[in-house]
Amino acid sequence: MDPALDLAALHGAHLQTQRARFDRALAACGYTGIIVYSGPLTPIFRDDQTHPFRAHAWFKAWVPLTDVPDCFLYYEPGRTPVLLFNRPADYWYKAAEPPRAFWTSQFDLRPVADRVAAREALPRNLGATAYVGQAFPRLAAWEVAAVNPPDLLTRLDYDRAVKTPYELACLRAANRLAARGHRAAARAFAAGASELEIELEFIRACGAREQELPYNPIVALNESGAVLHYQMLERAPPAELHSMLIDAGAEANGYASDVTRTYSYRDPDFAALIERFDEVQQALCSGVHAGVDWRDVHLSAHRLVAELLHEADITDCDAEEAVATGVSSVFLPHGIGHLLGLQVHDAGGLLRSPEGGEIPRPEGHPHLRLTRILEEGFVVTMEPGIYFIDQLLEQARAGALAPKINWARVGSLRKFGGIRIEDDLAVGASGAENLTRDAFSAEGK
């Protein structure tokens, strides 16, 4: 079957799910329709250039259109959704061509020259219509019922955690692109490239511009792997090369992948530690299925990481003591993972119900981004790590945790920065589909 035809069928079914979700949310919140904005081009302060455009997630949920600002989706339950496609008359910049893709037959597509024309194409009375998206100066003149009403957004974000078959197909495609990029980055690292050169190889293999990726890649050589969201890209390789931690994803039809791998350059001891850590990560993946409390997964990760720390002679206490006293958090200070989809850190991870409220994080673990019970159709990241972070190590050395850590061993590992391995998992009834491992297998060596 033609993949485009298959995706068209999946998208048609996806839109039926979207309509049902929006119908319920609009009825519960008392609105008769909704306008969803793709987002504006935002000017840089006191400049005539703009920041890179990012389409709003609620818009991408309907329309896989990620690179055209000032578009509007208008939807009334029971009616064909209207897409007001921004096509200005302009000779400074090339206007986007009206799309003719697999999804366009599902919409009443109307090109509009600007926001004024968009307003004229909408119903005259918007007094019962909600607006979702970034506000702009003349939005008040549209006289909508509410702008980004929290109760409506909460319901939409809660439902978004369960992915449709179309969304899963897009997430698989995003993982295949990321795997291709990671393979290229690993080859560049092995050849002794700099951080910038490695990122460029990743981008080249993905066939994307940096602004088309879901987030700027983290390419951390040596001790920079200890910075969790390392943002630099050194132009020259270090004098001595020890390791690489690369956290980089790709995007397909607006859906993100989020993938991390760690490599040793030539040190067999660190390579063995990475291999053993990969076993820990895969053990955690094997425990993911519908009905599991993600908070329990997070605490299990701390126990397994604590066992590895003791086994690797990094700590001098058993796993139970390491978790209870906070030793494990010295080496694993972040959450084990998060929801993934239209956003890298997808919305709704802490929500108790469609009506709102939050499920609390476990005591002592303030950075966890997901606390919900997993449901079939959730897509989550699994990203345990161990890091040698000077700030946290210094705090531990100055306090009661100092005797529980093998400081000589830590000193020998500091030059590697850390290890993180991250896969994207689609939750099923009795297990999980590992989108990332499947993608790496498909891409081969």
- 285 with 363, same domain? yes
pLDDT at residue 1, as a whole number = 43
- 267 with 409, same domain? yes
pLDDT at residue 4, as a whole number = 58
CATH of the domain at 250: 3.90.230.10
CA distances from 343 to 249, 412, 414 (A): 12, 38, 33
Out of 159, 188, 208, pick the residue that ends a domain: 159
- 116 with 192, same domain? no
- 153 with 249, same domain? no
pLDDT at residue 3, as a whole number = 58
Out of 130, 159, 188, pick the residue that ends a domain: 159
- 316 with 366, same domain? yes
- 185 with 133, same domain? no
- 263 with 147, same domain? no
Could you state, in chain order, the average pLDDT of each consecutive group of 10 residues for the chain (445 residues)? 73 98 98 98 96 97 97 98 96 92 96 98 98 97 98 98 98 98 98 98 97 97 98 97 98 98 98 98 98 98 98 97 97 98 98 98 96 98 98 98 98 98 98 98 80
- 273 with 222, same domain? yes
CATH of the domain at 115: 3.40.350.10
- 173 with 260, same domain? yes
- Neighbouring-strand partners of residue 425: 380, 434
Out of 159, 182, 200, pick the residue that ends a domain: 159
In the chain, the number of structural domains is 2
- 107 with 203, same domain? no
Owning domain of residue 324: 165-443
- 304 with 199, same domain? yes
- 263 with 325, same domain? yes
